[in-house]
């Protein structure tokens, strides 16, 4: 039910590097992680790029947002200086750049499809289409995840062979129906809102179970005892990749 890595670096390098950048992917690799989670959304001209927030201001300075900015401009924007001076000039990467980096280093990818509101179906379709086009024989098979049912459904239609995990903060009562509709393989959720009984229900239904964002070894062990298969962590310096 879970053929993937069990410990995953959140947004590439956790809290040790500017999130969703090539530097973050390298940081995770430097700590022995060969499994990463990152966020993908579309530029104004439909190019997938790594970004968590639809609007600028937190990790990229300036006004505006991803959906109103061309890929050419996005890929020149500084995504590192907010973190520290040592990362000044670290650019917003394209999804293609990150896929090729991960393929080069044999890194498994949990690709979170994170559409700007109103672009759910298009984001799912484009990300799935490009993932198909970039596939290299022998590379680890990625897993798509999203909080957006519509984005995952669109990805499913475009690339049914790529596995899917549906994301929740708080798990709704109809979680099983939603997973079945998407032919998903896993449920991904906030560990703070998971209980042992609910974890058992999910596992007994035959699904993989991934939690975000688990930052202490003690909590990781606790939820593993509940049956959780895998977790993302920001603390890649505290929780080893082979934990």
Residue-wise pLDDT tens digits, 233-243:
999 999 999 99
What pLDDT does residue 188 have? 98
**pTM score above 0.75:** yes
- Residue among 52, 135, 188, 193 flagged as catalytic: 52
Q: Residue range 200-213: average pLDDT?
A: 98
- Residue among 10, 105, 188, 191 flagged as catalytic: 10
Q: Residue range 99-106: average pLDDT?
A: 98
Q: Examine the residue annotation and report whether 10 is marked as an active-site residue of this protein.
A: yes
What pLDDT does residue 230 have? 98
Contact by Cβ (8 Å): 12, 36: yes
Q: Examine the residue annotation and report whether 52 is marked as an active-site residue of this protein.
A: yes
Q: Residue range 173-182: average pLDDT?
A: 98
What pLDDT does residue 1 have? 79
Q: What 8-state DSSP symbol labels residue 4? A: S
For helices 149-158 and 175-182, give the axis angle rounded to 10 degrees: 20
Angle 113-156-121 from CA coordinates, rounded to 5°: 55
What pLDDT does residue 154 have? 98
Contact by Cβ (8 Å): 172, 147: no
Residue 58: CB atoms within 10 A of its CB come to 10
Per DSSP, what are the bridge partners of residue 210? 188, 230
Q: Residue 49 is inside which H or E element, if any?
A: strand 48-50
What CATH superfamily classification does 7-233 receive?
Phosphatidylinositol (PI) phosphodiesterase (3.20.20.190)
pLDDT greater than 90 at residue 149: yes
Residue 226's pLDDT band, with cuts at 50, 70 and 90, is very high
Alpha carbon distance 221, 136 (integer Å): 35
Burial class (CB in 10 A: 0-12, 13-18, 19+), 159: buried
Nearest alpha carbon to residue 25 among 85, 82, 105, 81:
105
Alpha carbon distance 172, 193 (integer Å): 11
The tokens for 156 are: 């499913």
Cα dihedral 145, 47, 156, 159 sign: negative
Alpha carbon distance 213, 242 (integer Å): 17
């Amino acid at each position: 039910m879970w053929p993937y890595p069990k410990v995953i670096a959140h947004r590439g390098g956790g809290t040790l590097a500017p999130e969703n950048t090539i530097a973050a992917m390298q940081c995770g690799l430097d700590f022995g992680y060969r499994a990463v989670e990152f966020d993908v959304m579309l530029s104004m001209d439909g190019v997938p790029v790594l970004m968590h927030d639809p609007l600028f201001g937190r990790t990229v300075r300036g006004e505006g947002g991803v959906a109103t900015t061309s890929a050419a401009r996005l890929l020149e924007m500084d995504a590192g200086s907010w973190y520290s001076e040592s990362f000044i000039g670290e650019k917003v990467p394209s999804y293609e750049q990150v896929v090729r980096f991960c393929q080069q280093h044999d890194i498994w990818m949990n690709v979170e499809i994170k559409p700007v509101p109103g672009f759910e179906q298009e984001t799912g379709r484009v990300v799935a289409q490009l993932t198909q086009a970039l596939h290299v024989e022998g590379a680890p098979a990625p897993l798509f995840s999203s909080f957006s049912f519509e984005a995952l459904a669109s990805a499913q239609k475009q690339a049914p062979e790529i596995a899917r995990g549906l994301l929740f903060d708080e798990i709704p009562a109809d979680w099983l129906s939603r997973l079945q509709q998407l032919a998903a393989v896993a449920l991904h959720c906030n560990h703070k809102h998971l209980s042992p009984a609910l974890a058992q229900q999910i596992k007994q239904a035959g699904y993989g179970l991934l939690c975000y964002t688990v930052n202490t070894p003690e909590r990781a062990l606790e939820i593993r005892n509940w049956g959780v298969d895998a977790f993302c962590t920001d603390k890649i310096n505290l929780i080893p990749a082979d934990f």
